[in-house]
Amino acid sequence: MSLADKTLHVCSCNATMPLDAAALARGLAVAGELPVHTQLCQKELARFADVAAGDLIVACTQEARLFGDVAEDGGKTHTIRFVNIRESAGWSAEAATAMPKINAAMKLKIAAQTTAKRGESTRVETTVAMLLAAS
């Protein structure tokens, strides 16, 4: 499992989730800073369109259609996968301590993307990761 050949897009949903970029980067073994967007589907959408290339993982399922359309329009994306960190962790009563759960979901999504064929769903794997992280 590696992020080496993938681009990760994480958004705090207009700062409604307390995301710790440093903890997320450590948990995912990302070298350097991991940018956390605040309005990826709004004011930062043009930036997403500019860099959407290769294999993408977007930590937002609410706007999956929008991100998918933008990535497809750009024509540089190989695969795009989505992971739900908002409803399953970031907007929970335990949001302040949810980073391990978010990291587990992201790790499993990365692993699923690494092994999935183009067009295959990885939703089941993400659900399992959330259940394991919560236990």
pTM reported for the whole predicted model: 0.71
- pLDDT score, position 1: 36
Residues of the chain with pLDDT > 70, as a percent, come to 61
Comparing 103 with 123, the larger pLDDT belongs to 103
- pLDDT score, position 76: 93
Domains of the chain, residue spans: 6-134
Output the six-digit token pair for 108.
Answer: 């499993």
pLDDT(46) > 90: yes
> Predicted confidence band at 44 (pLDDT cuts at 50, 70, 90)?
very high
> Predicted confidence band at 40 (pLDDT cuts at 50, 70, 90)?
very high
CA distances, 59 to each of 40, 107 (Å): 10, 12
User: pLDDT tens for residues 47-69?
Assistant: 999 999 998 888 888 898 999 99
